[in-house]
Amino acid sequence: MTMEYTRNLRVHESGEEATDVASAWFEVDRFNRLLCFLRVTAIKTHNNETFDVKMQMKDPDGNTVDVSSGTFTQVTSSTGNEYKAFSMDFGSQIRFYYTFTGDDPGYTFTLMCIAKALV
């Protein structure tokens, strides 16, 4: 009998960020699928700022590495939503890293994911 396990990950609650920062680490060792939802609701200014989100994981030696397929579309001057689905071996832990550029960046956003596994 196949069972599905799920876990809700509240990666970033709605709030403004303006400097590069990483989320907390999330234990995902038994999960092999992630469904993520990024919602950008406000942008502080519109002066060529950018906002990038990428997934990172720990390799077998415990080093932090970027997941090449784990990026979201760069946000510039528009609010909006993006859904992403990831299927892979995530290792033991993942997190998301947020990068901001520009003269006066500030983005208000929410990032949530559902981790899934079939066992």
Position 5 scores a pLDDT of: 86
For 1-119, strand residue ranges (E) read: 4-17, 21-22, 26-27, 33-43, 50-58, 64-71, 80-87, 93-101, 107-118
Q: Does residue 1 have a pLDDT over 80? A: no
Residue 38 lies in domain: 4-118
CB of 49 within 8 A of CB of 43?
yes
pTM of the model: 0.91
The chain-wide mean pLDDT, for the chain, equals 91
Give the count of domains, the chain.
1
The CATH number given to whatever domain includes residue 95 is 2.60.120.660
Each residue's pLDDT tens digit, 50-61: 999 999 999 889
Displacement of CA 41 from its chain's centroid (Å): 16
Each residue's pLDDT tens digit, 78-100: 899 999 999 988 888 999 999 99
